[in-house]
Structure 1
Amino acid sequence: MIKELRGLRVRDDLKRWIALVVVCFGQLMIVLDATIVNVALPPIQHDLGFSQADLTWVVNAYGISYGGFVLLAGRVGDLVGRKPVFLAGVILFTIASALAGLAPVPALLVAARFAQGLGGALSAGVIIAMIVTGFKEPRERAQAMSVFAFTIAGGGSLGLLAGGVLTQFASWHWVFFINLPIGLVTLLAGMALIERDPGAGLRQGVDVAGSILVTAAVMLGVYTIVTADASGWTSARTLWLGAASALLLAGFFGLQARLANPILPLGILANRSLVGASVARGLLATGMFTNFFLGALYLQRVRGFSALGIGLAFLPFTLALGAASLGITVRLVGRFGSRRVLIVGLLCITAALLSQSSIAPATAYFPRLLMTYALFGLGAGMSLMPLTLLAMAEVPAAHVGLATGINNASMQVSAAFGLAALGSVAAGHGFQLAFVLAAGLVTCALAVVLVVLRPARRPAPASTATEDSELQLAA
């Protein structure tokens, strides 16, 4: 009997870990697409006849859709169950990828990118919630979050490499077609392996008005940000759009305060760990995306790297990230706590960005730039998992999807703002200043961690090593 129970537990554990790989494949597809497309923009412009101004919509359509729907996706997952929301996102993303790869005209490609953003929001909006509810033991959760963190950051640099290879040796169509086998495998494996959770249900109805208001507010906000550089940050158009977004957001919060079944229970915003970690994640995302996008532009325009060369140049980042995420960070968090490890990781990222800002164009790639990218990868590997653990540490199970949406929305909106603002700085004042400002934003994330994410008070010494380990993971 005991052997049978142990066998069942082993099979259940194995199924959970395989399911983790499945959802990480879904996340990989989303993250790959966020960077792989940028490498292919020049041939896309040439083949489809995009103007320089319209070409930005290949990127912006995805960001606006993703940012607008990711919060709603997390809440819908809480209500109807996360598995169907995740799988719906995978299906939509895969179909939209096929349409994007086949697009014969600019309008169809932009529409397909918008649909990709919606599919990505549906899947990404529930993945962290699925990990948190599927891995309840602290050490297992930390290990699962490490795999997820590696997928997020590693997928970004892998996208640059894959984009370079596909653009150079195939065609731009394949930066979208590469999602088809990933999406199909993720869908079939997810249907078989991911456990279905019932969700809280829709007995009290759905906050339709709130859903529309928050989605419109975030989409309009992201649209304002990504078009501000072309219109002017202080132009009447930008200011009016920003004011309209703020007004919609104010209306949304006013509505939530009066409803019995709001899409965003305002009490969740009193969760210090969630709000602090979400702000820090948004600031960190700006530095991360600056490294991917402006770093790639720097290598191409200043140093003359090919698309494939850019991808290879980021390999030290990926390797260091993998070493940290898939081994080192879990042990460090178990020994020193999430907050301390996160602080060290943010310091590493700040140092790497400052190093990038001071590298002369004539400086050889080896060893200075190689070591800079490796330090950045190490810092990212030591930051993303602890930050996610801290964000979810005090969130009730019924609201984990919503908390995931808040976390993801903060990252997407901040990254959009950072890329638009720092891209403008890089164009007008050079890459060095942009990297310095990115380092300043990561330093602000560090300040949030130090001031807001205070270490939890430790109770009397635990009676077992397991209890002590749990306290360390949450600290």
Structure 2
Amino acid sequence: MSGDNRSAAGTAATNETARAVGAEEAVEAPKNPLRWKALALLCTGFFMVQLDAQIVLLALPSMQAEIGLTAAGAQWVMSSYLLTFGGLLLLGGRAADILGRRRMFMVGMVLFLVSSLIAGLAWDPTILILARVGQGISAAIISPTALSLVMVTFTDKKELGKALAIWAANGAAGAMAALLIGGPINDLLGWEWIFFINVPVALVVLALAKKLLPESKVTGQGKGFDPLGALTITLATVAFIYAVVETPVAGWLSGQTLGLLAVAAVLIALFIVIEKRVSTPMVPLSLFRSRNLVGGNVVMLLVGMVTFGAVLIISLYAQQVLGYTALAFGLSTVIYTVMSTIGSQIGARVVAKIGFRTLSVISMALMAVGTLLLTQVSVDGTYFADLFGGLLLFGLGLGLGFVGVTIAALADVPAENSGVASGINTAGFQMGGAIGVAVATSVAVTFTRGADQKHALNEGFQAGFWAMTVLAVVSLLVGLVLFKTPKPTAAVES
């Protein structure tokens, strides 16, 4: 054999080995020495965004009393955040990929700081709602950008698996902490402070961001905006979320709801046509060839529905039937928050051993059992008899689920699409939350019957918990069908 042939054979063997063990093992990329500190900073920003999604829930009565917020205005304090957050997530993620992930993260954090300050100082309902719009826009930038930064900061696959597990655990903790601290802050300091607490945190994050976070963005052929794609998918998402959040008032079969859902469907179809034809699509449709990505995002949508819907019904039952104050209700959710945190930590440790498919199925089963226990709430109930067991299992399942489902949705995503994939993942949870609140509210109202107010409310809340149980079971089945267990060499390890 000639020297050239031997060299070619050797090169081919080397390439085959690299393919067999994974490119990341054949050529080790340098590790960022600040990567774990960067993760802590990014998790802090994400925690605050998750906190703000629900923390206003317990402060709405105080806002209504102090600044003349009407019932419709209170709905918009919640809906304006959901609309802008969910509607702009894909655009925020793609902007991060193209304009620079660190740059966009800092832009989002500045907007978050300013809008939180204005919300706390709001002297008028309109100002408060506009400030919440600003918070939603900033959240749509921060969430996908921060997760994208996590994915590009950790070049080692094992460390990336651990980082994603920590990220998911942090998200679960943020969502649950809103219930724990929202009531005490509102009752002891005033509703303004649920916004003011964001200001010093944002200042610290901004001060450290340039030092700890690497700058990265798409270069070359994949670089470029897709304005028509961005416009159609943003309008479609906004139309869908608006239709859903208004269903408790307008009705599921009203002209408004059906019309907006039809508009959303047409815009999504148009978006798919556009993405097939443009050279630099906002969302490369090839991403959806991954069963894990599709399954992860469908399950994340269902997890959002169950989480937001169940939390709303729990809050209403505790305050309207059991007579809890906002402070008492917040403290009653300690077990929920603690078990969610424990679940996410357990998930981060075991996901490499049992796989995200098994972990996700276990988590959905726990959430289903938790909501099933809550269907037994009674008019003369007590915390330990009616809420404790359901909160314990539901919180544990949610913590495990965040880890498994997040890793499933992002495991197959290439780095150049990490921003938009992160946006899809977060959008799934937020859109699911909007649907879950609408479904829970509609079911509870439909089944609220009888002359005695407490008994009527209790029947409605029981029905709401049954609806969440059904959704949890559906999410379990979707995970079983769609999740593909990765081969050992491709599994996410911690």
TM (normalized to structure 2)? Answer: 0.87
**Helix, strand or coil at the partner of 1:454:** coil
Does residue 80 of the first structure (1) align with residue 110 of the second (2)? Answer: no
Aligned to 2:330: 311
Unaligned runs of 5+ in 2: 1-27, 448-459
Matched residue, 1:375: 393
1:438-464: CA deviations, max 9, x gaps? 111111111111111132356xxxxxx
1:363 CA drift (Å): 3.2
Of the three residues 161, 168, 181, the one matched with 2:200 is: 181
Structure 2 residue aligned with 1:291, among 288, 293, 310?
310
**Residue 432 (1) aligns with residue 462 (2):** yes
- Equivalent residue for 2:63? 44
Residue 452 of structure 1 corresponds to 482
User: 1:148 maps to what in 2?
Assistant: 167
Residue 211 in structure 1 maps to residue 224 in structure 2: no
Aligned to 1:116: 135
Aligned counterpart, 1:464: none
User: Are the equivalent residues in 2 in contact too, given 1:149–1:325 (CA < 8 A)?
Assistant: yes
In structure 1, what is the Cα distance between the partners aligned to 2:157 and 2:322? 45
**Does structure 2 retain, via aligned residues, the 8 Å contact 1:131–1:144?**
yes
Q: Does 1:410 align with 2:440?
A: no
SS of equivalent residue, structure 1 residue 40:
helix
Contact 2:241–2:434 (8 Å) recurs in 1: yes
1:132 paired residue number: 151
Corresponding residue for residue 461 of structure 1: none
Change (3 A) 1:50 1:330: closer
Match of 1:229 in 2: 248
CA gap 1:205/1:378 in 2 versus in 1, 3 angstroms: closer
> What is the CA–CA distance in structure 2 between the aligned matches of 1:268 and 1:471, rounded to whole Å?
18
Where does 1:321-400 land on structure 2 (aligned, <5 Å)?
A: 321-326=340-345, 328-366=346-384, 369-400=387-418
* Superimposed CA distance per residue, residues 205-235 of structure 1 (whole angstroms, 9 cap, x where no aligned partner): 4211211111111111111111122122111
- Partner of 1:305, secondary structure, is coil
CA distance in 2 between partners of 1:188 and 1:201 (Å): 31
The question of whether the paired residues in 2 share the 8 Å contact of 1:94 and 1:184 is answered with yes
Structure 2 counterpart of 1:422, one-letter code: A
What is the one-letter code of the residue matched to 1:413? M
Aligned residue identity for 1:421: V
Q: What letter corresponds to residue 154 of structure 1 in structure 2?
A: A
The answer for unaligned runs of 5 or more in structure 1 is: 1-8, 459-466
User: 1:171 Cα shift?
Assistant: 1.2
1:229-276 per-residue CA deviation (whole Å, 9 max, x = no partner) reads 212211112222221222222211111111111112211122211111
- Report whether the alignment pairs 1:63 with 2:63: no
Q: Is the 8 A contact 2:80 2:129 kept in 1?
A: yes
1: CA distance, partners of 2:302 / 2:412: 21
Work out the CA distance in 1 between the residues paired with 2:220 and 2:230: 16
1:242 aligned onto 2:261: yes
**Residue 471 of structure 1 aligns with which residue?**
491
Output the amino acid matched with 1:453: F
Q: Name the counterpart of 1:23.
A: 42
Tell me if structure 1 keeps the 8 A contact 2:292–2:408.
Answer: yes
Cα distance in structure 2, aligned partners of 1:387 and 1:30: 19
CA distance in 1, matches of 2:222, 2:380: 65
Letter in 2 for 1:72: L
Specify whether residues 472 and 174 from structure 1 end up closer, same or farther in structure 2 by C-alpha distance, changes over 3 A only: closer
SS, match of residue 56 in structure 1 = helix
1:163 pairs, out of 182, 200, 213, with: 182
Whether contact under 8 Å (2:305, 2:437) holds in the other structure is yes
Comparing 410-419 with 150-159, greater Cα deviation is found at 150-159
Could you tell which deviates more after superposition, 160-169 or 18-27? Answer: 160-169
Distance 2:146 2:106 in 1: 11
**What's the RMSD between the two structures over aligned residues?**
2.1
Measure the CA separation in 1 of the matches of 2:82 and 2:185. 23
Counterpart amino acid of residue 484 in structure 2: R
- In 2, the alpha carbon distance for the partners of 1:450 and 1:426 equals 29
Counterpart residue type for residue 469 of structure 2: A
* Matched position secondary structure for 2:245: helix
Are the equivalent residues in 2 in contact too, given 1:82–1:199 (CA < 8 A)? Answer: no
Answer whether contact 2:161 2:492 (CA < 8 A) is retained.
no
Amino acid at match of 2:261: G
Letter in 2 for 1:370: F
Cα 1:239/1:84, change in 2 over 3 Å: same
Change beyond 3 A, Cα 1:187–1:472: closer
Q: In 1, distance between residues paired with 2:220 and 2:374?
A: 50
Q: 1:368 to 1:268 in 2, by over 3 A?
A: same
Partners of 2:110 and 2:309 lie apart in 1 by 30
Displacement of 1:335 in angstroms is 1.9
State the AA in 1 paired with 2:342.
Answer: A
State which structure, 1 or 2, has the greater radius of gyration over its C-alpha atoms.
2
